[in-house]
């Protein structure tokens, strides 16, 4: 009985302990995932986010970026023989025809809505001259964006052992793309019909989104989700890059190599929904420090006694997207002052910086002088002036005495 009582006491103690942030993290089945607050780049969750994975059709995010940066949407591209016949059986296509002249705008819809692999080849050849030339452009752009573990060999994600990326790098590409309003329009479109062309007279090629999270009729639909791109190959399994908006907050999520659970449900959607719920419900923007708040008070050594005591005030409000369990009360700021601070100092002058570090991310703002610091009167100068005055007075007195003596001598001679 005593042993059982001890067990009960221990269990009650454990249950009474305050929960920590990790206990709130969702259970993710996908081998690799990342969730990021888009405006700040703060990582809210990651699981093997820097491991190299096959990206499948999420590759087309980079193809879309380069297309928008190198083309006029109204210009025409011509469908080559290679664009049609290089696509292996089983891969999605837009039923493009050899010799067809089609606008870049329509190819982009085929690329990002239907995930058409032939459209990707047409765009690659149109922009880079060849698939290889375009792949070189993709890799250069990836490095420019900050990707360190990405290598592309084609514009569509058709499997190749040397074609890989990471959840983090794909987030960087998606975040870069979402800064472009035209990109945002493409990745949020659920349906588009390609118009008739010189080689295809009927407007019956309908592009339906592959992303079930933005299709209202889908069981995976999430009203907050605004894109971005799905991917699948047998080697890469199910991949998904998503963006969601709620209360003016935008999150970007990437899940890679997802499978299907015991109930036959797609884990890429289940995991993404769980991560978005976590990101919106367990985090919020909090002010670390308010604009014009006093951070520290210092003395300026050569300031006069009435103004030398100056407050250092924050130039701007520092805000961060933090876990709601984060305690900001015990934060210790790092204050860095400029060297050799001397009066006079006008009000509002930057005297240094203050930095707060939370979850390995630093938030900084300048520290401004709260008021003008006047220079104190230099007593050494006063002493020098006094000495000069006394010296001059002494000289004048000596001269006066000398003149008196001369006058007295003249009188005595008379």
Domains of the chain and any CATH numbers: 27-281 (3.40.710.10), 287-369 (2.60.410)
**pLDDT tens by residue, 10-27:** 444 444 433 333 447 999
pLDDT of residue 381: 59
Report the alpha-carbon angle 44-48-49, nearest 5. Answer: 55
Which of 53-67, 82-96, 270-284, 327-341 shows the lowest mean pLDDT across its residues? 327-341
Which is more confidently placed, 115 or 400? Answer: 115
Confidence of residue 389 (pLDDT cuts 50, 70, 90): confident
Give the pLDDT confidence score for residue 24 in this predicted structure: 74
How far is Cα 353 from Cα 82, in angstroms, rounded to an integer?
A: 58
Q: What is the pLDDT of residue 20?
A: 35
Give mean pLDDT, residues 160-165: 98
Mean pLDDT across the chain? 91
Q: How confident is the model at residue 284 (pLDDT cuts 50, 70, 90)?
A: very high
Q: For residue 39, what are its two tokens?
A: 């405006």
What six digits make up the tokens of 312? Answer: 């250092």
The yes-or-no verdict on residue 383 having pLDDT over 80 is: no
Helix axes 181-188, 60-70, angle to 10 degrees: 140
Tokens for 323, please give them.
Answer: 């876990």
- 22-36, 74-88, 153-167, 210-224: which has the minimum mean pLDDT? 22-36
* pLDDT of 15: 40
């Amino acid at each position: 009985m005593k042993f059982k009582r001890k067990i009960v006491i221990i269990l009650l103690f454990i249950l009474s302990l305050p929960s920590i942030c990790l206990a709130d993290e969702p259970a993710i089945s996908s081998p690799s995932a990342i969730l990021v607050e888009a405006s700040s780049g703060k990582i809210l969750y990651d699981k093997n986010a820097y491991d190299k994975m096959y990206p499948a059709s999420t590759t087309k995010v980079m193809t879309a970026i380069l297309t928008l940066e190198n083309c006029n949407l109204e210009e025409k591209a011509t469908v080559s023989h290679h664009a049609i016949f290089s696509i292996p059986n089983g891969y999605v296509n837009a039923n493009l025809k050899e010799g067809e002249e089609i606008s870049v705008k329509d190819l982009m819809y085929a690329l990002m809505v239907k995930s058409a692999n032939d459209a990707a080849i047409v765009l690659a050849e149109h922009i880079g001259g060849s698939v290889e030339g375009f792949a070189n452009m993709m890799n250069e752009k990836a490095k420019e964006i900050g990707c360190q573990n990405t290598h592309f060999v084609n514009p569509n994600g058709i499997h190749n052992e040397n074609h890989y990326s990471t959840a983090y790098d794909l987030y960087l590409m998606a975040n870069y793309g979402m800064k472009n309003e035209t990109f945002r329009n493409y990745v949020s479109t659920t349906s588009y019909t390609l118009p008739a062309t010189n080689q295809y007279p009927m407007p019956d090629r309908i592009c339906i989104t592959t992303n079930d999270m933005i299709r209202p009729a889908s069981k995976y639909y999430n009203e907050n989700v605004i894109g971005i791109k799905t991917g699948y190959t047998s080697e890469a399994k199910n991949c998904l890059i998503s963006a969601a908006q709620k209360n003016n907050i935008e999150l970007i999520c990437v899940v890679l190599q997802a499978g299907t659970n015991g109930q036959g449900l797609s884990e890429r959607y289940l995991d993404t929904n769980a991560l978005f719920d976590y990101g919106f419900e367990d985090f919020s923007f909090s002010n670390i420090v308010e604009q014009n708040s006093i951070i520290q008070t210092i003395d300026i050594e050569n300031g006069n006694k009435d103004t030398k005591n100056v407050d250092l005030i924050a130039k701007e409000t520092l805000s961060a997207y933090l876990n709601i369990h984060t305690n900001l009360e015990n934060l210790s700021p790092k204050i860095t002052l400029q060297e050799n601070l001397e009066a006079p100092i006008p009000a509002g002058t930057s005297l240094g910086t203050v930095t707060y570090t939370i979850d390995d991310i630093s938030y900084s703002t300048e520290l401004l002088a709260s008021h003008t610091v006047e220079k104190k009167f230099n007593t050494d100068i006063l002493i020098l002036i006094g000495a000069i005055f006394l010296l001059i007075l002494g000289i004048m007195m000596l001269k006066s005495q000398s003149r008196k003596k001369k006058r007295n001598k003249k009188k005595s001679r008379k």
